[in-house]
Structure 1
Amino acid sequence: MLSNSVLKYLLFISFSIGIFSSHNDQAKILANSVRVLLEAIGKPGRLTVMACWPSDFSFRFYTSINNANESYQIVITQTDFINVSRDSTKEQHEFILIDFQCNGADTILLSAKEKWINYFWIIFDMQMSIETEEAFWSVSRNLPILITSEVYYVKSQNIFEKIVVQQLYRTDVLMPLIIEEFGEIINGLFIDYRRTTISSRRRQNLFGLRLKASMVVTNNDTLNHLTDYRETQTDPLSKVNYILTQFLMSYLNATAEYLIVSSWGYKDDKTEEWSGMVGQLVRQEVELGASPLFMTVERVPIIQYIASPTRTGSRFILRSPKLSYTDNVFLLPFDDFVWYCLIVLVIVTAIFLIISVFIEWKYVSNGMDADSSSDLRPSVSDIFFVIFGAACQQGSAAIPRSVAGRIILAVAFTILMFLYTSYSANIVALLQSPSTKIKTLKDLYESRLDIGVDDTVFNRYYFSHAEESMRKKIYTEKVLKKNGQDNFMSLEEGVQRVRQGLFAFHMELSLGYKVMSETFFEDEKCGLIEIAYLQVTDPWYAIKKNSSYKELFKIGLMRMHEHGITERENTRMYTKKPRCTGTGGNFITASLVDTKPALLVLLWGYLMALMVLGVEFFIKSIKEKGN
């Protein structure tokens, strides 16, 4: 028989082997459960395990979880390693596993703070008891687990039988925890209880939560017409997005509490503080901005833009001026090549006519009457006036005597008649044509048009803070006056001056087009030109930075766009560019501007005539003194 010492030794060996085998099985099952859960959630970029496991258990867990087709980047550390520091670009792909059975696990959970949003958390309780479960729920009530947090509570009384997976979140910091049944793991198989794999879709019900929203109102009467589609020329951006925000709240089963401000918000250069709606978002006094605003470099780091629900903007609007305001219409009827050909034709005709007339007058002494006033003489000045009269279809007082000379003159009159007819017809059409040369800010600046700006908060801010050279010139030289006043004016006055012509007005397109549709004649709606001044995109819907509801808001706004709600509200509130249906309905009379080149030619002719007359008198006086 074996001695007692030998029996004790054998029992110890057997017990140690059993414990080692049990640890190996538990590590393997735990690793398999974690791998199955990670596959259900999504592939992580990094897996950090905070546990108080023995080294052999940790080694078995590490080798088992990477023994499948998928391999993970795993770090196993002790529970006293509280400060988890990672590259912020990798946080959204970081999973943290915590064994709640370890001492200090509750301390790690309470010290996580903002990391509840940046990481995926998996909390294991593999030997769950009433005491440990109550301890976990007691700790979790004090955790900032919000609606975007990904927290998984994995519990089991017997790891070899069934593992229950639950997700935890709350709609607001002050609201109670919501427990979502995620699934179960039985014999290494995951049973999915989710109705959809997208967390934001499962959590879109906010259970009547009140969310604060900031809305810009520049006219107090706007509050009386937020939903009746009246007075659409006042605060249309806030009105249409108030309706869209109400639809968004209905989609999320939430309620919006609106805080009214008078401006979108701009930075004070002295105090470095933001005013208006942006200031409320920066100070986190509100959750979302119900009035879309422009996306600027200064605002991007401090607020979050999520969607562009309203296609509108502000631009310079002007009626195309007459062509004579930008071009010399007397040179436009013919192409440059035609003008060159015409000059060559006149020169060649004059040369042949001079030769013909010169030959005629060589035989004057052979019986031809040299005193007839109707005979064309071989003089350069006489030939010039004959050709000039032919070009102007004015006829000629003198004609050649020979048949050859008369044929030359007849052909010249015939050809120039057709050119004169074409020229006259084109001139009439060009006088009625609008100019298309004003297309850019530089063209507008160099034109003779006056400029005005709609007197709004954002127009005054963006015009006064323009840094680009051309935009600054437009503001300092055309918007601001030398007498200290400016050309900021009401919408109605600006549109009326646009109607009168030779005036460019910067305004919100929808508001201006509504007034134009109501006041302009049909022919006045033609030839409207748009020129962009503000270096911004269409207004964007904004929320506070790092908002827990960002995904919910984005999905809600996107669904409204897909279902046509956004387009419907914009169509009902905004007016599109008026259609041109009255072209040619109004005849434009010629003005002094149209005839300016002809008048200049006439004045220069008079001036030259007076100069020549003065020279003749001077020469005559010299001759008289000499005699």
Structure 2
Amino acid sequence: MHWWLLVFLPLSCQGLPEHELLELELDYGLAEPQRTSLLQSSLILQFSQDYKHIPRITYFTCQKPHLQTPNQIPNAAEHRDAFAAKNFQLIKSLYESELFVRIVLLDVLAQSPTSGRPNRPGNGPTGGFSQTPSQAQSNSEWLEGVLRMEALRQIAVVDLACGAVSRRFLELASAKMLYSEKFHWLLIEDFAWHGRTQTAEGSGKRDDGEMEEEEPPGQQIQATDDEDLPSIESFLGGMNLYMNTELTLAKRMSEAAHYTLFDVWNPGLNYGGHVNLTEIGSFTPTEGIQLHTWFRTTSTVRRRMDMQHARVRCMVVVTNKNMTGTLMYYLTHTMSGHIDTMNRFNFNLLMAVRDMFNWTFVLSRTTSWGYVKNGRFDGMIGALIRNETDIGGAPIFYWLERHKWIDVAGRSWSSRPCFIFRHPRSTQKDRIVFLQPFTNDVWILIVGCGVLTVFILWFLTTIEWKLVPHDGSALIKPKGGAPPRHHYQQQQQQEQVEAPVRPITAVSVVVSKEKVEEKQEEYEDSTPIDAGTLWQRCYQKLNKYIKDRKAKQKKAPERVGLFLESVLFFVGIICQQGLGFSTSFVSGRCIVITSLLFSFCIYQFYSASIVGTLLMEKPKTIKTLSDLVHSSLKVGMEDILYNRDYFLHTKDPVSMELYAKKITSVPTTKENEADEDEPVDPNPVSTDPAKSYRDIVHSHETGAHAKDNAASNWLDPETGLLRHLGFAFHVDVAAAYKIIAETFSEQDICDLTEVSMFPPQKTVSIMQKNSPMRKVISYGLRRVTETGILTYHFNVWHSRKPPCVKKIETSDLHVDMDTVSSALLILLFSYAITLMILGTEILYSKWHNRIQLKWVGAT
């Protein structure tokens, strides 16, 4: 009867805002379907644009209502027509918006797979409805095709006027865990359709006398089921709602254009939680969505910090086989804090998050973090995948192969395992300590200055002999007397005076020797050079040259200032020794004085550097993993699973070489040859085909490493760190520092060196894939970090590195054999060279005398 309002109202209200136009339409008494459609469309658009800011909407409705209000709508046929008109107007307004909208019919859920029939065009509104899935699909497959878990968020609007069909749809969404942060749900329950339709029994006729169309069998059953539907509040109590659920219930309590908005969530039905409905605001056409201040100014996690003692299953990793007491006591007390350090540290952080959100733990334990074994994950990750636990109490290394199976909440422990060893005090560099004080360029300059000094001195001695040749003696003469030849003549004359008579045998020998030499010289002079073999001719030429040199030296005065004497002079002053001869010229004495001053300066710097080298800290030459592999140190590993798994998957050639040479020999089997990623030892110690590299890696589960000599280098921290000097042990520094501080001396602590096999690893807290606890734990760990609780627990569980208190002890002033070994080697080398030259000289002398006697005998 108000049809004229639909025609003339836009003309009389031009320029009015949309919400005023809607209010005016509602006040003029439009038909209930039109009023409801305008009100619901305005609510959906504002919910999407102004509140959630998500432009993707999926609207779930049905073609026929299943509501019960006999007093409002007297006839079921008129009821369906009104509902169809309402849907038509609502869908039209949604399609005219700028949002991405999909309309999905829920009637397929009310039809039986065998008796259901396709919808006919005349059964309801035809514009804009999406096609229903085929009857061959199950409800679960249909739901997966309608709502897909995508990266983008979307809004799901459900019209609760569909009755049991909408309830069945909500149950399917609950079974598929779709009440997550990816889907923002809006459930609309309107007063106009919140009633029970009175169905006439028997006749099934309309008021206008026409026969009512027969209902499908599935809908007839559904009509009887709708009579005892529970309230939406009690119905949502059985749904899988969680902490991250974004569900808003909009209820219209009366005929007024007013919706009350409720925020619906649950700590977790499987955790023992209960549904929470909290009024958060209202919606009216004039004011839109009005939310309470406390709701607008807080985040979702902050509003839901009371989980009502929900029981969350938590699995922790415990590698200590000697654990005593209850599991909770072991995880929360610092007794033997160097064992399972990062696992206990992470659990104490989760305890702080637990107190923040008011939940409780249901604890369980395992021995493995979770590694692929026989194609499946074992340990904690395997339990999360199989839904045996909800969150992981121990942190893990986040690898790519684990990404698709679990979710992470935030960083926890920073693990830094490395090789720790006492660096040897004497290394290869210490053995050349006598060359260390000066750099290479300084040594080259010293040698250059020495060569120049030798040549200058040689030149000066030569010039001096030529300028002053008197009395047949050299001007460069030995200390304290005449030249050697003149001295020898005086001594010979004195001996003749003192002992004029000599034994006849000696004189005869001398005379015979002189005769032999004279005869030899005569023979050589008479023998032509061209006679004899080639080597005889060469020898004759060489002997003649030596004889001519000797004749010249007999005629000329002997000269002492030679090149070799100049070399010995420079070596002597460098070694702080005396001068072997003197010179008369001022120029010669200048070069001698200059060389002595140069030697004095060099010696001072050299000796001071030697003393400083002995007192300074010994240089550490083992700095990388490659240096450790090629050193003489033995190597051991902490018997923990991630160390074994590292060697199982690493492709680093240095790590593979370290494992093959110093840790464990791997038996060669066909299985190893098939695994290209696994290193193989070229020298296996076992040929048992049942024992493979993978078995050795996982031998920690059965303790086989303790019985097998091939795996004897897998040790616990106490045993590995207290090994003898010359042993490098790979262990986490959190466990090592406490043992070192309690057992090592100050000198041993200063000698410690750390070499990393792989970079420090950041660990993360984990939970099930798409877990509703992810935001809770992530927010809790951030708050724990901001408030300093994480730093407090880190200082409790992570031992500090023991400080090195350097003291000059008596042992530091001692020079050991390794330090002076270079000087001893030089001396021994000179002994060997001297003996070799002496042997050569003896052989040459014997050969020369034999040749002379042969020639004398021939003459």
Residue matched to 1:397? 580
Establish whether residue 424 from structure 1 lines up as the match of residue 591 from structure 2: no
Cα distance in 2 between the residues matched to 1:75 and 1:150: 20
Taking the aligned partners of 2:716 and 2:844, their CA distance within structure 1 comes to 65
The 3 A distance-change label for structure 1 pair 304 and 571 is: same
Instruction: With the length of structure 1 as denominator, give the TM-score of the two structures.
Output: 0.88
Deviates more, 1:351-360 or 1:604-613: 604-613
Code of the aligned partner of 2:282: E
Confirm or deny: 8 A CA contact 1:323 1:329 kept in the other structure.
no
Output the CA distance in 2 between the equivalents of 1:496 and 1:331: 36
Question: Secondary structure at the residue paired with 2:267?
Answer: coil
User: How far apart are 1:598 and its partner, in Å?
Assistant: 2.6
Quick one: which of 169, 174, 191 aligns to 2:290?
A: 191
Task: Go from structure 1 to structure 2 and tell me whether the alpha carbon gap of 1:312 and 1:61 turns closer, same or farther (over 3 Å shift).
Answer: closer
SS at 1:330's partner residue? helix
Partner of 1:34: 44
Distance 2:46 2:774 in 1: 29
Aligned to 2:170: 109
Q: 1:337 offset after TM fit, Å?
A: 2.3
Q: Which amino acid is the alignment partner of residue 99 of structure 2? A: Y
Residue 596 of structure 2 corresponds to 413
Stretches (4+) displaced over 6 A: 15-22
Task: Let me know the Cα RMSD of the aligned residues.
Answer: 3.0
**1:533-552 paired onto structure 2 within 5 Å:** 533-535=757-759, 537-552=761-776
For the pair 1:178 / 2:276, whether they are aligned, the reply is yes
CA contact (8 A) 1:313 1:509 kept: yes
Q: Tell me the distance in 2 between the aligned counterparts of 1:281 and 1:178.
A: 27
| Pair 1:442 & 2:626 matched | yes
Rounded to whole Å, the distance in 1 between the matches of 2:439 and 2:234 is: 89
Structure 1 CA distance for aligned equivalents of residues 51 and 622 of structure 2 = 58
- Note if 1:562 corresponds to 2:746: no
Contact (CA 8 Å) 1:51, 1:102: kept in 2 or not? Answer: yes
Residue 234 of structure 1: SS of its match in structure 2? coil
Evaluate the alpha carbon distance shift between residue 286 and residue 395 of structure 1 in structure 2; reply closer, same or farther with a 3 A threshold: farther
Q: 1:388 aligns with which of 571, 586, 605?
A: 571
The alpha carbon displacement at 1:54 in A equals: 4.3
The 1:394–1:505 alpha-carbon spacing in structure 2 relative to 1, beyond 3 Å, is farther
Q: Identify the residue that residue 496 of structure 1 maps to in structure 2.
A: 722
Q: How does 1:303-318 map to 2 (within 5 A)?
A: 303-318=406-421
Equivalent AA in structure 1 for residue 288 of structure 2 = L
Change (3 A) 1:330 1:129: same
| Inter-partner Cα distance in structure 1 for 2:659 and 2:55 | 53
**Partner in structure 2 of residue 204 of structure 1:** 305
1:613 and 2:717 aligned: no
> What residue in structure 2 maps to residue 94 of structure 1?
154
Q: TM-score, normalised by structure 2?
A: 0.65
CA deviation map 1:269-313 (0-9, x unaligned): xx2122222222222211122122222233232222222233342
Structure 1 position 582 matched with structure 2 position 806? yes
Q: Secondary structure at the match of 1:299?
A: helix
What is the CA deviation profile of residues 439-481 of structure 1, one whole-angstrom value per residue up to 9, with x for unaligned ones?
A: 3222322333332222333333324543211111111112236
Aligned in 2, Cα 1:306/1:442: closer, same or farther, shift over 3 Å? same
Percent of aligned pairs with the same amino acid: 24
CA–CA distance in structure 1, aligned partners of residues 3 and 42 of structure 2: 28
Q: 1:493 to 1:135 in 2, by over 3 A?
A: closer
User: Are the structure 2 counterparts of residues 56 and 178 from structure 1 closer, same or farther at C-alpha, using a change threshold of 3 Å?
Assistant: closer
- Match of residue 260, structure 1, among 355, 365, 386: 365
Specify the code of the residue in structure 1 equivalent to 2:829: W
User: In the alignment, what sits opposite 1:5?
Assistant: none
Asked whether the equivalents of residues 318 and 529 of structure 1 are also in contact (C-alpha less than 8 Å), the reply is yes
Ranges in structure 2 where 5+ consecutive residues have no aligned partner: 8-27, 63-85, 108-131, 133-141, 197-225, 484-558, 666-682, 686-709, 853-859
Is the CA contact (8 Å cut-off) linking 1:79 and 1:105 kept in structure 2?
yes
Matches within 5 A, 1:34-183: 34-39=44-49, 41-52=51-62, 54-63=87-96, 66=97, 71-80=98-107, 81=132, 82-83=142-143, 84-85=145-146, 88-91=149-152, 93-102=153-162, 104-112=165-173, 113-117=176-180, 118-126=182-190, 127=192, 129=194, 134=230, 136-137=232-233, 139-158=235-254, 160-174=256-270, 175=272, 176-183=274-281
Equivalent runs, 1:451-462 vs 2, <5 Å: 451-462=635-646
C-alpha change, 1:316 and 1:49, in structure 2 (3 Å) is: same
Task: Give 1:89 deviation, angstroms.
Answer: 4.2
Residue type of the partner of 1:185?
F
Q: Is the 8 A contact 1:125 1:156 kept in 2?
A: yes
Kindly state the Cα deviation for residue 159 of structure 1 after the two structures are TM-superposed: 6.5
Quick one: structure 1 residues 303 and 77, their matched pair in 2 at CA, closer, same or farther if it must change by over 3 Å? closer
Q: Aligned equivalents of 2:844 and 2:833: distance in 1? A: 16
8 A contact 1:36–1:188 mirrored in 2? no
- State the 1:249 CA deviation: 1.7
For 2:147 and 2:461, the matched residues in 1 are separated by 102
Larger CA deviation: 531-540 vs 41-50: 531-540
Q: Hey, what's the Cα distance between the residues in 1 that align with 2:443 and 2:623? A: 28
Given that 2:415 and 2:760 are in contact with CA atoms closer than 8 Å, whether structure 1 keeps it comes out as no
For 1:192 and 1:293, the matched residues in 2 are separated by: 41
> 2:838 is matched by which residue type in structure 1?
L
Determine the C-alpha separation between the residues in 2 that align with 1:591 and 1:284: 65
Q: Does the 8 Å CA contact 1:323/1:430 hold for their aligned counterparts?
A: no
Please give the secondary structure, in 1, of the residue aligned with 2:435. Answer: coil
Alignment of structure 1 residues 187-336 onto 2, 5 Å: 187-193=286-292, 194-195=294-295, 196-219=297-320, 220-221=322-323, 223=325, 225-268=330-373, 271-322=374-425, 324-326=427-429, 328-336=432-440
Give the structure with higher Rg (CA). Answer: 2
Amino acid at match of 1:251: M
C-alpha distance in 2 between matches for 1:584 and 1:207: 63
The whole-number CA distance in structure 2 between the counterparts of 1:40 and 1:316 is: 59
Question: Displacement of 1:510 after TM fit?
Answer: 1.8
User: Any unmatched runs of 5+ in structure 1?
Assistant: 1-10
- Rounded to whole Å, the distance in 2 between the matches of 1:46 and 1:434 is 70
Residues 32-87 of structure 1 deviation map (CA, whole Å, 9 limit, x = unaligned): 32233335642114122223554444222443xx4xxxx53333343455544567
SS at match of 1:115: coil
CA distance in 2, matches of 1:620, 1:446: 50
Q: Distance in 1 between matches of 2:472 and 2:648?
A: 84
Q: Structure 2 vs 1, CA of residues 429 and 282 (structure 1 numbering), >3 Å: closer, same or farther?
A: farther
Q: Contact between 2:48 and 2:55, CA under 8 Å: does it hold in 1?
A: no
Q: How far is the alpha carbon of 1:396 from its aligned partner?
A: 3.3
* 3-state SS of 2:393 partner: strand
Matched, 1:507 2:731: yes
Change (3 A) 1:410 1:207: same
Distance in 2 separating the partners of 1:205 and 1:214: 22
Counterpart of 1:598, as a letter, is A
Does structure 2 conserve the Cα–Cα contact (< 8 Å) formed by 1:295 and 1:537?
no
What's the counterpart of residue 486 of structure 2? Answer: none
Of 549-558 and 520-529, more deviation after overlay is shown by: 520-529
> Which whole-Å CA distance do the structure 2 matches of 1:527 and 1:183 have between them?
69
Distance 1:226 1:58, change over 3 A: closer
CA distance in 2 between counterparts of 1:445 and 1:160 reads: 83
Distance 2:586 2:776 in 1: 96
> 1:6-41, CA deviations, whole angstroms, 9 ceiling, x for partnerless residues?
xxxxx6966997998765554443233223333564
Which has the larger share of helix? Answer: 2
- Is contact 2:637–2:713 with CA below 8 Å preserved after alignment? yes
* 8 Å Cα contact 1:322/1:433 also seen in 2: no
* Preserved contact between residue 121 and residue 151 of structure 1 (Cα < 8 Å): yes
